[in-house]
Amino acid sequence: MPAAWDPAQYLAFADERGRPYLDLLGRVGGTPTTVVDLGCGPGHLTALLHARWPRAAVTGVDASPEMIARARQDQAERPTGPVSYLHADLRGWRPERPVDLLVSAAAFHWVPGHLQLLASLAESVASGGTFAFTVPANFDAPSHTTLRELAARDPYAPFTAGVEHPAAHEAATYLETLARPGWSVDAWETTYLHVLDGPDPVLRWVSGTGARPVLQALPDSAPDVLRGRFERAYAAALREAYPARPYGTVLPFRRVFVVAQRVPASSAS
């Protein structure tokens, strides 16, 4: 069973998680009238799409019922215009008609073999439209290598075998996947140095995202309360890998960005 998402835990670092989204949108031009946010999460960033393009019809799509419920609740309490949310798996979702902008932040790395999916989704972009996304690229960092190594040990291994681990590709791979006649593709990477506050901030960060499947796979009730034991060991390793400084704890976080624009037919001819 897929691990559940906790919107409140995810939003604990909303500003840091939202910065790549804003940087991505900064490279998207034009005035789209139909915009879809794939893997929209709790919708706090989807609302920014309407603020950027107030005349556009904006749809957020996410496979997590918890995330969609939070997005719909916030939209009902604080309406932001023509923004709607759809509970659907982006692997099977396709729009009824081509859209002007497909945007996604931190979603595709949860889909195994997602390069084929990207090529398919690109066909849903209208002439002159844009497919823009960003994914984490820090899976060789201690936050993830330590997680995998610890989860593979006893007594945790019997419970964590087979859990999903996110993975992504280099910018050059995404460029090669999407670049073709009729498309203009820009791909790059950025490493953010997030300065986090509070006790065990890296554990709190990764518990809401990459470590979530492992933690939820471990028993959290007697007689085998393994989750707490795992968290303590994981927290200690993270404190060593990411030592606290007088000004906070630095979490280097590399991300890959891609902005692919479909050249209008008149320009391509």
Q: How far is CA 158 from CA 13, 151, 155, 227, 248, in A?
A: 31, 9, 7, 13, 36
Mean pLDDT of 223-230: 82
Residue type, 101: L
- Mean confidence (pLDDT) of the chain: 90
The DSSP element (H or E) to which 80 belongs, if any, is: none
Given pLDDT bands bounded at 50, 70 and 90, which one contains residue 10?
low
The residue ranges of every structural domain in the chain are 7-268
> 7-268 belongs to which CATH class?
alpha beta
Residue 134 has pLDDT above 90, yes or no: yes
- The DSSP symbol for 12 reads G
pTM of the model: 0.91
* Helix segments in the chain, DSSP class H: 7-10, 14-25, 46-52, 65-77, 114-122, 142-151, 157-160, 171-178, 201-207, 212-217, 226-241, 265-268
Given pLDDT bands bounded at 50, 70 and 90, which one contains residue 268?
low
Given pLDDT bands bounded at 50, 70 and 90, which one contains residue 60?
very high
Nearest Cα residue to 132 out of 100, 170, 102? 102
How far apart CA 233 and CA 129 sit, in angstroms, is 47
